[in-house]
Structure 1
Amino acid sequence: MADADADTRPNVLFVLTDQERYDASAPEGPPVDTPAIDRLSSEGIRFEQAFTPISICSSARASLLTGQFPHGHGMLNNCHEPDAIRANLPADLPTFSEELVAAGYDLTYTGKWHAGRDQTPADFGFSYLGGSDEHHDDIDEAFREYREEQGVPVGEADLEEEIYTGEEPRESSEGTFVAAKTSVDVEDTRAYFLAERTIDAIESHADGDRDGPFFHRADFYGPHHPYVVPEPYASLYDPDEIEPPESYAETYDGKPQVHENYLAYRGVTGFDWDIWAEAIAKYWGFITLIDHQFERILETLESRGLADDTVVVHASDHGDFAGSHRQFNKGPLMYDDTYRIPLQIRWPGVADDGSSCEVPVHLHDLAATFLDIADVQVPDSFDSRSLVPLLENGSDLPEGHDWRVSTFAQYHGDEFGLYSQRMVRTERYKYVYNGPDIDELYDLEADPAELRNLIDHPEYEDARREMRDRLADWMEETADPNRVWVTDVLENAS
């Protein structure tokens, strides 16, 4: 006989990648092999218009935890840098994870953190299972110990086909490490290790070693650079068969000066297409490596009889330029390459199989969604809306349900200093407010590559005014501290 008091709320498996582009797993995107993500899309809902509130790691991850836009939680740039505006989140800010713990969920976490210099997942209700290293997150030594046991200590692998930023892409004496082939086996990679730790957590729950429904978060280190991958992934994609994206034709004419400056700042002024194609091939290989580990995790859910009782969510904190607009990494360029993110949700018996959702949503809407799934009230502090109504209604908005037709994003600078930006995006248009420079307006229907800035085009006067009004509304609604000054500027602009 079933226990009348048994907790029937679903488990949640949340897989977050680091700097994964939206188009890498999109049906109309490049030929990247992503069987696990494709499976998730075919068995759940794929969100076509999902966006990060900010394209920088610490800020986006803090938004995910707190359900707030960055100006709300205050972690405006990366927490590990000496110029961090805020090294740690305020202790009194509600987070979805602490709310879940209070509601009886068992929380586990493996992998990258990067949402607090001194804080760890344990400070927010998670039982941390390891997987970090000294790359922003010196939380423990688990992965280093694993590599010692594998006989390939971290730092002792051989590298080939190396690419670095700077004047000499093959020279490691200067610049940032971009990509390489590593000599280690797949089983020695951090992606494999994080999947193993996640599988251990799932099996522990299946064996009854943990109480209550579980929430497990697996944060993969990648496909963030350096794109270092072993065989067969290092040669899975032929650089000679990769075509330049449309945005590679960028001239920066009529764009904010910082766009062109960033080529030199990131050290890729001298990169030709052959170098970019080689780097992109490694980036794609990294995505497929992670996806294959994700596939192992999904197979474990299935084999241990937990698939039907577990909501599976895949997203990324933000995207990656990976050569688009000839740029590397990310920065004060609010293109879809880094702001549009992959998001798939599978909820057996609730979300329709193979649906796609065109409703615009934010990454940090997941904070409210996780609480709604767990039947927990969403804190008033959240600037976050649950996606459950969309999941329950075949990816469409229920009749009479109010929802924004735009998304809002911001940027405050990273290691180069402060740089204030705000962005509002609808299906048709994108408007970017650049405090120090010219604003941007793109017609995404006519120019999906965002090559032509129409901010001064006379035929777009009505669109410009409408988008400025939308941006002012977002800033007012979210109590953006810049709202008084910026909205005055927007209202008085021609």
Structure 2
Amino acid sequence: MADADADTRPNVLFLLTDQERYDCSASEGPPVETPAMDRLSSEGVRFERAFTPISICSSARASLLTGQFPHGHGMLNNCHEPDAIRANLPDGLPTFSEELVAAGYDLTYTGKWHAGRDRTPADFGFSYLGGSDKHHDDIDEAFREHREVRDVPIGEVELEEEIYTGDDPRDGENGTFVAAKTPVDVEETRAYFLAERTIDAIEAHADGDRDDPFFHRADFYGPHHPWVVPEPYASLYDPGEIEPPASYAETYDGKPRVHENYLSYRGVADFDWELWAEALAKYWGFVTLIDHQIGRVLDAVDEHGLAEQTVVVHASDHGDFAGSHRQFNKGPLMYDDTYHIPLQIRWPGVADTGTTSEAPVHLHDLAATFLELADVPVPDDFDSRSLVPLLENGGEPPANLDWRDSTFAQYHGDEFGLYSQRMVRTDRYKYVYNGPDIDELYDLEADPAELRNLIDHPAYEDVRRDMRDRLVDWMEATEDPNRVWVTGVLENAS
């Protein structure tokens, strides 16, 4: 006889990558091998219109925790930089993790944090299981110890095929480290180590005597640059066979001046396609390396008999230019390359398998989703909407549910300083408000590479007005503090 008091709420396994482009695991994307992500898509729901609220690591991760757009939680740029607006989230903000702990979930965490300089996952209800090092975080020394045990200490490895930004792409004296091949074994990579720690957590949950469900979060440190990968991943993709994306034809004609300035700022103004292809091959290799580690984790879920009781979610905090628009990293350029993110959710017995959802959703909608999965009320402070109704309805909003037909995003500056941007995107059009410069309007059906700014095109006057109205609505609905004066600018613009 079943235990009438047994907790039937699902476990949640959340796999978050860092700067993973949407197209890498998309069916119509480049030829990147992602069997584990493809498996999640075939066994669950793939969201085709998922977007980050901001393309900055700390801000996006803070939104994920708090269910708020960045202007709500106040972490507007990266917390590790000297010019950080906030080093840590303010006290008193509800977070999905603390709500889950209060509801009886057992929370564990491995890998990257980067949502606070001093406050760690432990301050938000998680038991931290290691995996951090000096890359924006210094929570523990677990990965360093792992490498030392294997006699390959970090910093004592001779890299090959190195690429740097700057005047000399082979000279690391002044430029930013972009990519390289490492001679270490796969088992000595951080991606493997994080998967191993996650598998340990899964085994502990399976073998434990607790009846409470678990929530485990694994934050991979990639494919964020530097794109350093071992064999076989370093040579998995032939640079000579990689074609430039359509956006590589970017001229910046009619675009905000900062777009072209960023080429020099990032040190890639002199990169040609041959160099970009070499770097991009490493980026793709990094994606496949992480995907294979996700595959190991999914196999562990199966082996321990937890698959039917566990919701698995894969997403990324934001994307990466990786040569698109000839750009490196991210910045005040609100193209889909960095704002469109992968999102797959597998929920056995509830979400239809092999489903694609066209509903526009945000990364931080996962905060409300996690709470509804746990039967926990969503705090009023959240700007987040649960995806559970979509998962239960073949990926589409139920007829009685009013679901927006657009997404909203913003940018406040990272190391570039404060630079105010707001963006609204429908399935066909994108409007970007640039406080210091010309606004942008793109027809994504006619111009998916976002090469032609139509902001002054007379044939798009009605579209321009409609998109400005949508942007104002988003700013009003989310109580964006800039709405007071931006609304007037947009309403009075020609």
Residue 268 in structure 1 maps to residue 268 in structure 2: yes
Cα 1:145–1:209 change in 2 (3 A) is farther
Q: Deviations over 1:77-104 (max 9, x none)?
A: 0000000001100120000000000000
- 3-state SS of paired residue (2:333): coil
For residues 462 and 399 of structure 1, what CA distance do their matches in structure 2 show?
A: 28
Give the equivalent residue in structure 2 for 1:202: 202
Give the equivalent residue in structure 2 for 1:82: 82
After superposition, where does 1:114-193 map in structure 2 within 5 Å?
A: 114-193=114-193
Q: Deviations over 1:311-335 (max 9, x none)?
A: 0000000000000000000000000
- 3-state SS of paired residue (1:410): strand
Give the equivalent residue in structure 2 for 1:356: 356
Q: Deviations over 1:15-60 (max 9, x none)?
A: 0000000000000000000000000000000000000000000000
Cα 1:221–1:209 change in 2 (3 A) is farther
The letter for the 1-side match of 2:68 is Q
For residues 273 and 428 of structure 1, what CA distance do their matches in structure 2 show?
A: 29
Give the equivalent residue in structure 1 for 2:474: 474
For residues 91 and 125 of structure 1, what CA distance do their matches in structure 2 show?
A: 14
- 3-state SS of paired residue (1:292): helix
Residue 2 of structure 1 deviates from its aligned partner by 2.9
> Does structure 2 retain, via aligned residues, the 8 Å contact 1:367–1:384?
yes
Residue 227 in structure 1 maps to residue 217 in structure 2: no
Residue 400 of structure 1 deviates from its aligned partner by 1.8
- Deviation >2 Å, runs of 4+: none
- 3-state SS of paired residue (1:418): coil
> Does structure 2 retain, via aligned residues, the 8 Å contact 1:106–1:211?
no
Give the equivalent residue in structure 2 for 1:336: 336
Give the equivalent residue in structure 1 for 2:460: 460
Give the equivalent residue in structure 1 for 2:41: 41
For residues 209 and 280 of structure 2, what CA distance do their matches in structure 1 show?
A: 42
For residues 31 and 8 of structure 1, what CA distance do their matches in structure 2 show?
A: 40
The letter for the 1-side match of 2:125 is G
> Does structure 2 retain, via aligned residues, the 8 Å contact 1:204–1:210?
no
For residues 26 and 190 of structure 1, what CA distance do their matches in structure 2 show?
A: 25
Q: TM-score, normalised by structure 2?
A: 1.00
After superposition, where does 1:41-440 map in structure 2 within 5 Å?
A: 41-440=41-440
Residue 209 of structure 1 deviates from its aligned partner by 4.8
For residues 30 and 54 of structure 1, what CA distance do their matches in structure 2 show?
A: 24
Residue 210 of structure 1 deviates from its aligned partner by 4.5
For residues 366 and 188 of structure 1, what CA distance do their matches in structure 2 show?
A: 31
The letter for the 1-side match of 2:92 is D
Q: Deviations over 1:456-485 (max 9, x none)?
A: 000000000000000000000000000010
Give the equivalent residue in structure 2 for 1:485: 485
> Does structure 1 retain, via aligned residues, the 8 Å contact 2:18–2:317?
yes
For residues 287 and 100 of structure 2, what CA distance do their matches in structure 1 show?
A: 30
Residue 211 of structure 1 deviates from its aligned partner by 4.7
For residues 250 and 344 of structure 2, what CA distance do their matches in structure 1 show?
A: 31
> Does structure 2 retain, via aligned residues, the 8 Å contact 1:257–1:437?
yes
The letter for the 1-side match of 2:314 is H
Q: Deviations over 1:282-303 (max 9, x none)?
A: 0000000000000000000001
The letter for the 2-side match of 1:72 is G
- 3-state SS of paired residue (2:469): helix
Residue 399 of structure 1 deviates from its aligned partner by 1.2
For residues 399 and 455 of structure 1, what CA distance do their matches in structure 2 show?
A: 34
Residue 357 of structure 1 deviates from its aligned partner by 0.1
Residue 176 of structure 1 deviates from its aligned partner by 0.2
For residues 408 and 373 of structure 1, what CA distance do their matches in structure 2 show?
A: 24
Give the equivalent residue in structure 2 for 1:15: 15
Residue 4 of structure 1 deviates from its aligned partner by 1.8
For residues 128 and 36 of structure 2, what CA distance do their matches in structure 1 show?
A: 25
- 3-state SS of paired residue (1:146): helix
For residues 260 and 211 of structure 1, what CA distance do their matches in structure 2 show?
A: 56
For residues 116 and 474 of structure 1, what CA distance do their matches in structure 2 show?
A: 27
The letter for the 1-side match of 2:90 is P
Residue 3 of structure 1 deviates from its aligned partner by 2.2
> Does structure 1 retain, via aligned residues, the 8 Å contact 2:6–2:211?
no
Q: Deviations over 1:216-253 (max 9, x none)?
A: 00000000000000000000000000000000000000
> What are structure 2's unaligned runs of at least 5 residues?
none
Q: Work out the percentage of aligned pairs sharing the same amino acid.
A: 85
- 3-state SS of paired residue (2:175): coil
> Does structure 1 retain, via aligned residues, the 8 Å contact 2:133–2:143?
yes
For residues 209 and 32 of structure 2, what CA distance do their matches in structure 1 show?
A: 38
- 3-state SS of paired residue (1:84): coil
For residues 336 and 479 of structure 1, what CA distance do their matches in structure 2 show?
A: 25
For residues 35 and 70 of structure 1, what CA distance do their matches in structure 2 show?
A: 33
